[in-house]
Structure 1
Amino acid sequence: MAGGAQERSPLLHLVAGGCGGTVGAIFTCPLEVIKTRLQSSKLAFRAVYYPQVQLGTISAEGMVRQTAVSPGLIRVLKSILEKEGPRSLFRGLGPNLVGVAPSRAVYFGCYSKAKEQFNHLFVPNSNLVHICSAGSAAFITNSLMNPIWMVKTRMQLERRVRGSKQMNALQCTRYVYRTEGIRGFYRGLTASYAGISETIICFAIYESLKKHVNDIQLAPSPAGGSERSSTNFLGLMVAAAVAKGCASCIAYPHEVIRTRLREEGTKYKTFIQTARLVAREEGYLAFYRGLFAQLVRQIPNTAIVLSTYELIVYLLEDRVK
């Protein structure tokens, strides 16, 4: 690639990733709010807010015991609309929009640079290179962006009575700092580090599928170039969707643990302690609350971001050749 193209490509990747991430964040924000509420401990144990969740049963000893039943996506959506209004479906959108562009830029920049370095250490473009690159990029991105995601999660968990005023992002930031200090902004970071496994799995599968997509050769036609480009673009979207879907299903429990750690004034203190507590009190199925909302939100979003990234790189390389 020519020198001028190399200088322009980081800016183009930043703009493309930022725009794609921003649009995706806006359209998928309601699903993210629902997913976060489903992950929260307050959904299962606060009978006032979700009275239909609590079922009283009689144990063998004659004692009344409360059994938590997790509601579905539609029920949570309906409850938010009825009790809080449509605006609550966009809680945390401000921090999301502030963080999405720089986080995409940091991630793709670190991934590209790490891939370049690891290609000199291991077999070029091997699965080991992709795994190490994705893990390194995710570690750096999570460390830098955790305060923003912490504020976003806290805002999404805040419930309100219809018509009442809620904290904005700045007020929420000040409140966290005043009540918990700097350390408060890094709650859930250990769970985010555990979630690096999802990123590694996603990119390992994606890079493997991308090789097969790039190996597809179409028969020559009058519009061969554009046809090949559109087919590869669609193939990359499918590859990204499959990779993200598999990774989310495998590594999803860390998201539930991370949300619990970010709740205000709860009994959840550390990653291992939270995992044990959730498993003991709610069962292992609790680790998959909100998975459907996550898949509906993340799969198309990831497919758009990754395929757009690849398309811009392809178009840039094609123009300078």
Structure 2
Amino acid sequence: MVQRDTLLHLFAGGCSGTVGAIVTCPLEVLKTRLQSSGLALRPIFQVQLGALSSTGVIRPGTVTPGVLRGLQSILEKEGLRSLFRGLGPNLVGVAPSRAIYFASYSKSKELLNGLFVPNSGAVHMLAAGVAAFATNSLMNPVWMVKTRMQLERKASGEKKMNALQCARYLFKMEGIWGFYRGLTASYAGISETMICFLIYETLKKNLATLESTSPNSEAGKGVSDFLNLMMAAAFSKGCASCLAYPHEVIRTRLREEGSKYKHFFQTGRLIAVEEGYAAFYRGLVPQLIKQIPNAGIVFSTYELIVYLLGDK
């Protein structure tokens, strides 16, 4: 039974992550570009996204004020496929990463319930932290390749590296440790996961209480129940992303090729001194537009699969 439950959480996590990754890939590409050091930061997060040459050098151009204009700029200059750069390694990585994540979270929560007050905030936060640590440690090489692919800027029609070519080039230039650049920033981002799950599990518990008092509680879960879970997940992820976002910018900078960014705190200091504290929130808008619906899709899909295939 324990093995069946673990496999169920692995399967549900993998399916939910795959669905979310495909739907939100263009926003992921835009967010990564905005986080990089190859863009000039303008007041109120305005950037010269459309002013990049094929080599990534900034030249005079039109200031790009919004997410839609940013996506349009990539589409016009680099073609439709550039909006899905990194989707290959994302799909290769997202299913196992979400599977590892949700399975680790479920197992950790089960063990921690025996040590702390069952289903308390401490249990949810610690379980989320353990799950995030395991996932980040195992999947960082895949996300490193994805980020490098998303940062590659070439005009439409020019040949771009695929995931395997990118991995080979990375290994040739930086060795095996190059695949683990940005890992410290990912560990710092565990706080985001912990905050997200704390809020989500609290909301989920309150929703379950409301459902149990409903006249239709014996009829099982309906569409509205999963929509409520979707909204709870979206709200939780939105709050957590805003609070812990700076680690995302630091992680992207650490993963840039041949950059001056070497370590977590050194990168943070450089960004603050050279660009100001506003730079820590570059790409936040597309991140929220991507993460909020993605979290809703991932969590509700996961809950639905567990409900359908588990013991109701």
Would you call these one fold, judging by a TM-score over 0.5? yes
Matched residue of 1:115: which SS? Answer: helix
Decide whether aligned partners of structure 1 residues 87 and 318 sit closer, same or farther in structure 2, where only a CA change above 3 A counts: same
Q: Which residue in 1 is equivalent to 2:226?
A: 233
Structure 1 residue 288 displacement after superposition: 0.8
1:145 offset after TM fit, Å? 0.3
* Deviations 1:79-110, CA, capped at 9 Å, x for gaps: 21222111111110110000011001111111
* Matched AA of 1:274: T
Q: Does 1:280 align with 2:276?
A: no
TM-score, length-scaled by structure 1: 0.87
Q: Secondary structure at the match of 1:24?
A: helix
Match for residue 27 of structure 1? 23
More deviation, 73-82/110-119: 73-82
Give the partner amino acid of 1:220. P
Between the aligned partners of 1:118 and 1:139, the Cα distance in structure 2 is 16
Q: Which among 117, 127, 132 is matched to residue 126 of structure 2?
A: 132
Distance 2:112 2:94 in 1: 26
Contact 2:19 2:297 in 1 (8 A): no
Q: How does 1:184-223 map to 2 (within 5 A)?
A: 184-217=178-211, 219-220=214-215
User: 3-state DSSP class of the match of 1:107?
Assistant: helix
Shift in CA distance, 182/219, structure 1 to aligned 2, threshold 3 Å: closer
Residue pairs, 1:289-308, within 5 angstroms = 289-308=282-301
What is the deviation of 1:224?
6.1
State the 1:313 CA deviation: 2.7
For 1:296 and 1:197, locate their aligned partners in 2 and report how far apart those are by CA, in whole Å.
20
> What residue identity is the alignment partner of 2:174?
E
**Identity level (%):** 69
The 10-residue stretch of structure 1 (76-85 or 239-248) with the greater mean CA deviation from structure 2: 76-85
Unaligned runs of 5+ residues in structure 1 are 55-68
Distance 2:22 2:301 in 1: 17
Distance 2:130 2:252 in 1: 23
Whose radius of gyration is greater, 1 or 2? 1
Q: Which moved more, 1:194-203 or 1:42-51?
A: 42-51
Contact 2:13/2:302 (CA < 8 Å) preserved in 1?
A: yes
C-alpha change, 1:219 and 1:81, in structure 2 (3 Å) is closer
Q: Please give the residue correspondences for 1:1-321 in structure 2 after superposition, counting only pairs within 5 Å.
A: 3=1, 6-44=2-40, 48-49=52-53, 50-52=58-60, 71-217=65-211, 219-220=214-215, 225=219, 228-319=221-312
- In structure 2, the CA distance between the partners of 1:48 and 1:235, relative to structure 1 (3 Å rule), is closer
CA deviation map 1:153-190 (0-9, x unaligned): 00000000221101100000000000000110000000
- Offset at 1:234? 1.7
List alignment gaps of at least 5 residues for structure 2. 42-47
1:209-250 Cα shifts (integer Å, max 9, x gaps): 1111000135435x9615x53332122111111100000000
Distance (Å, rounded) in 1 between the aligned partners of 2:302 and 2:310: 13
Corresponding residue for residue 65 of structure 1: none
Matched position secondary structure for 1:120? coil
Q: How far 1:77 moved relative to its partner? A: 1.8
What do the CA deviations read for 1:26-77 (whole angstroms, capped 9, x no partner)?
12111100000000100228965353569xxxxxxxxxxxxxx885323322
- Paired positions, count: 299
CA distance change for structure 1 residues 36 and 161 in 2, over 3 Å: closer, same or farther? same
Deviation at 1:266, TM superposition (A): 0.8
Runs of 4+ in 1 over 6 A off after TM superposition: none
- 3-state secondary structure, aligned to 1:99: helix
Structure 1 residues 48 and 130, CA gap change in structure 2 (3 angstroms)? closer
Query: CA RMSD, aligned part only?
Result: 2.1
Distance 2:110 2:150 in 1: 38
* Contact 2:148/2:255 (<8 A) preserved: yes
Residue identity opposite 1:254 in structure 2: H
Q: Cα 1:130–1:80, aligned 2, differ >3 Å: closer, same or farther?
A: same
Is the alpha carbon distance of 1:214 and 1:293 closer, same or farther for their aligned partners in structure 2, counting shifts above 3 Å?
A: same
Question: Aligned to 1:166, what secondary structure does the other structure show?
Answer: coil
**What amino acid is the match of 1:256?**
V
Aligned letter for 1:104?
R
Contact kept, 8 Å, 2:253 with 2:261, in 1: the verdict is yes
Which deviates more, 148-157 or 230-239?
Answer: 230-239
Which stretch of structure 1 is more off in the superposition, 245-254 or 305-314? 305-314
